[in-house]
Amino acid sequence: MRIDIITIFPDYFTPLDLSLIGKARRSGLIDVRLHDLRRWTYDRHHTVDDTPYGGGPGMVMKPEPWGEALDEITADADAGTPRLILPTPSGLPFTQQDAVRLAKEPWLIFACGRYEGIDARVAVDAAQRMPVEELSIGDYVLNGGEVATLVIVEAISRLLPGVLGNVESITQDSFAPGTMDNLVEGPVYTKPPVWRGHEVPPILLSGHHAAIDRWRRDEALRKTARNRPDLIRRLDPESLDKRDREV
Ligand SMILES: Nc1cc(-c2ccc3cc[nH]c3c2)n[nH]1
C-alpha cells in the first residue's frame, strides 16, 4: 500500500518510523510519503491560509496549494487512482469496518487540515478525479488532521498482511468483523497467577479451551453491555446463541 500524507507539520509523523509500522515501511510493505504543503506556496512567507469568506473567527486553508499538491502527487499515473481521505470533525465516523475496507485500497492520500479547515472547493475539485472521504475519528475537536491521520493510518496498517506478527490477534480485536462484530474485548491477563492478592480467573488456567473461549465471549458481552450499550442494540440477534442471551 502507498500512503501519501500532505501536511504543514511533517514532523508530526515521526511515530510512523517506529515499531511495527516503521518495520513495515522499511520492509517495503507500506510506502509512506510525507509532503509539506508549503512546497506548493510561492510567497516569501509560504502562506497557506487566509480569512474566511462571510467573516467569523480563525483562518481557512487556501485552495491553491492543495490543488497543486494533489495534482503533482496524483500525476503518478502508473500508481493507479488514489482515494483521498480528509480527516474532519464533520466527517463520517471512522470505524473498524472502514479500517478493514480501506486496508484493501492500493493507494491512500491523507489531507491534514489546520486552522478552521480546508477551503471546501478542494474536496469538490478532487472528487472530479478520485474518490474522496471525509472521516471523523470521534466527537471531539483536535487542532488539525495530523493526529486523526496517525490514528487512521495505524488502524489500517496493522491489518495489512505481514505487518502484525500474530494475525490471530486481529480476529479477536474489539469490533473485528465476524465473531467480534459490535463487541468490545473482555479483560486480558498474564503471569503472575496472583498479583497483589488479585487472582487470574481460574478458568484461564484450566486448559479447557472451549470453556475458555465461552468465558471470553461472556466477558466481551458483559463489557460491551456495560461500556457500549449502543453496540449491544446493534447486535444481530441471529449472531447470538442461547448462552449469549443468558449473559
Ligand atoms: N475527529 C476529529 C477530526 C478533527 C480535526 C480534523 C482536521 C482539522 C483541521 C483543523 N481542525 C481539525 C480537527 N478533530 N476531531
**Residue-level pLDDT at 177:** 79
Which cell goes with 50?
487566509
Helices 146-157/19-26 angle, 10° precision = 70
Which of 105, 125, 173, 185 is catalytic? The answer is 173
- Give the CA radius of gyration of the chain: 22
154, containing H or E segment: helix 146-157
Per CATH, the architecture of 171-246 is what?
Answer: Orthogonal Bundle (1.10)
User: Using one digit for the tens of pLDDT, what is the confidence trace for 124-179?
Assistant: 999 999 999 999 999 999 999 999 999 999 999 999 999 997 777 777 788 887 88
What is the C-alpha to C-alpha distance for residues 172 and 61, in angstroms, rounded to an integer? 41
Mean pLDDT of all residues belonging to the chain? 94
* Segments of the chain scoring below 70 in pLDDT: none
Which of 116, 134, 181, 218 is catalytic? The answer is 116
216, containing H or E segment: helix 209-227
**Residue-level pLDDT at 133:** 98
What is the C-alpha to C-alpha distance for residues 74 and 97, in angstroms, rounded to an integer? 26
User: Is 89 one of the catalytic residues?
Assistant: yes
Please work out whether the CB of residue 138 comes within 6 Å of at least one atom of ligand 1. yes
* Domain residue spans of the chain: 2-157, 171-246
**Residue-level pLDDT at 168:** 72
**Residue-level pLDDT at 83:** 98
**Residue-level pLDDT at 180:** 84
What predicted TM-score, i.e. pTM, was given to this entire model? Answer: 0.94
**Residue-level pLDDT at 67:** 98
Per CATH, the architecture of 2-157 is what?
Answer: 3-Layer(aba) Sandwich (3.40)
**Which 8-state DSSP code applies to residue 28?**
T
ipTM for the complex? 0.99
